[in-house]
Amino acid sequence: MTQQLLAHRPRIATDLHIRGQVHRAGDQAYDALRASLNPAFDAKPLVIAEATCAADIQTAVVWARDQGLPFAVQSTGHGTYVPSDGGVLVKTTSMAGVLVDPERRIARVGAGAVWGDVIAAAAPFGLAPVSGSSPTVGVAGFTMGGGLGPLSRKYGLGADNLVRVDVVTADGELVTATAERNPDLFWAVRGGGGNFGVATSMEIRLHPVDEVYAGHALFPIDRAAEVLARYGEYAPVMPEELTCTIALTGEHVAIRATYAGDAVAAERALRPLWQVAGEPTSSTFVEVPVPQASVPGTAPRHFDLFRSLSDDVVRTVVDIAGDANAIEVRYWAGAITGGTTPAGHRRVPFSIAVDGPQDTAERLWPYATGGSFLNFLHDATAVETAYTAADYQRLREVKAVYDPSNVFSRNMNISPA
């Protein structure tokens, strides 16, 4: 690998110089920095640039463009980016600052911040963001990809809660996008991912949530069909404060939930599911401050959307459960439905995530809509399925304005119109 990359170097007219460190194959930190949390990605960039400020990112973008090199950006490695083999990988991990304005209920965060940083900074003020299910998920990638979290049914997607973003565009300019300034770019980055530039910082809305009732309860797997059927009936009338998923994991069916409120109201909201599920074999549910909340999730290898949990869908989920590591069924709706950003298929209420072989997941496809969600997409050829036809065309038109040469292509790519 090292010899191949070094052989590539004579084509480079100049070296990349930024304030942060620059690493090449063979350097001590190279392999650790290029790693992704997803073992399917084995990126082999020519150089890795550790950005410390917006100017570093501007320099790296212009340098990569002028040298004709592939360009990619990464914060935590949670995402499903396309590796920039032989190119430039910008790491934003060092740009992790968080500043909370409790009066405005806004957090200003750097490009490398993770949700745990924001949650911890907001909690002393009784505030919380619409964050990812894991505190180690990066804020920028989550938000720009749409951002589904435990508070989304009450407060919308992460993208809906973005109020300002500073972006380095393909020509190396640092541009601010808000509802009033560059509104076309502002619309596009709230769900269009990293196709339009590199976010250097963003301002996100915070909400008055200081404690939640959260956890999961396990029940015998033979209750799965009844629990799923009740879930399909009850989900459309669940209070928006409740985000609840049903997961089939080996010998158990799990009810996973977060309720933005106290234990009494939460248990009342969950009662229709408890009545069918019976007595849990174990439960971790507890009322806790937001930073202490912990609800397990399923890392999906396959993700599909459904208009309902029909009898056929329920039957198929139960039938394939033994062939998958986990299957998680989620109801979206609530405040998600009313958003205006391009993220996702907002009015399709159910999703099913399968951590298992493709032929197992394919058994659900006859009942799926064919749509997806950018944050959960693993197939770079299927990006169009993450949007409505109208939104996808509009995203391509915005792409043509801000990145007509498709400099930002090592991602879940949207080509310019």
The string of pLDDT tens digits covering residues 275-301 is 999 999 999 999 999 999 988 777 778
Q: Which residues of the chain have pLDDT under 70?
A: 1-14, 36-41, 77-83
Q: E strands along 312-414, which residues? A: 326-331, 350-355
**pTM for the predicted model, two decimal places:** 0.92
Compute the distance between CA of residue 245 and CA of residue 230 in angstroms, rounded to an integer.
Answer: 12
Question: Same domain, yes or no, for 49 and 168?
Answer: no
Question: Same domain, yes or no, for 40 and 174?
Answer: no
Alpha helices in 293-340 (DSSP H): 311-320
* Cβ–Cβ < 8 Å for 111, 201: yes
Q: What pLDDT shows up at residue 129? A: 98
Q: What pLDDT shows up at residue 2? A: 43
Residue 225, H or E segment = helix 224-234
User: Two tokens at 350?
Assistant: 């159910």
Specify if 410 maps to a domain.
Answer: no
CB within 8 Å of 403: residues ≥ 6 apart: 169, 170, 195, 196, 197, 416
Whichever domain contains 52, its CATH number is 3.30.43.10
Question: Same domain, yes or no, for 127 and 260?
Answer: no
Please count the structural domains in the chain: 3
pLDDT tens, 296-318?
A: 777 778 999 999 999 999 999 99
Residue 90, H or E segment = strand 88-91
Question: Same domain, yes or no, for 105 and 143?
Answer: yes
Residue 175, H or E segment = strand 174-177
Question: Same domain, yes or no, for 184 and 259?
Answer: no
Q: Residue 331's domain spans which residues? A: 211-371
Question: Same domain, yes or no, for 187 and 228?
Answer: no
User: Two tokens at 74?
Assistant: 């990464």
Residue type, 259: Y
Q: What pLDDT shows up at residue 4? A: 47
User: Two tokens at 52?
Assistant: 């410390």
Give how far the C-alpha of residue 395 lies from the chain's centroid of Cα atoms, to the nearest Å: 18
Q: What is the DSSP string of 104-171?
A: TTEEEEETT-BHHHHHHHHGGGT-EE---SSTTSBHHHHHHT----TTHHHH--TGGGEEEEEEE-TT
Question: 244's torsion region: left (phi>0), alpha (psi -120 to 50) or beta?
Answer: beta
Domain end (from 68, 91, 114): 91
Report the 10 Å Cβ neighbour count for 390: 9
* Cβ–Cβ < 8 Å for 139, 204: yes
Specify if 34 maps to a domain.
Answer: yes
CB within 8 Å of 32: residues ≥ 6 apart: none
pLDDT tens, 144-200?
A: 999 999 999 999 999 999 999 999 999 999 999 999 999 999 999 999 999 999 999
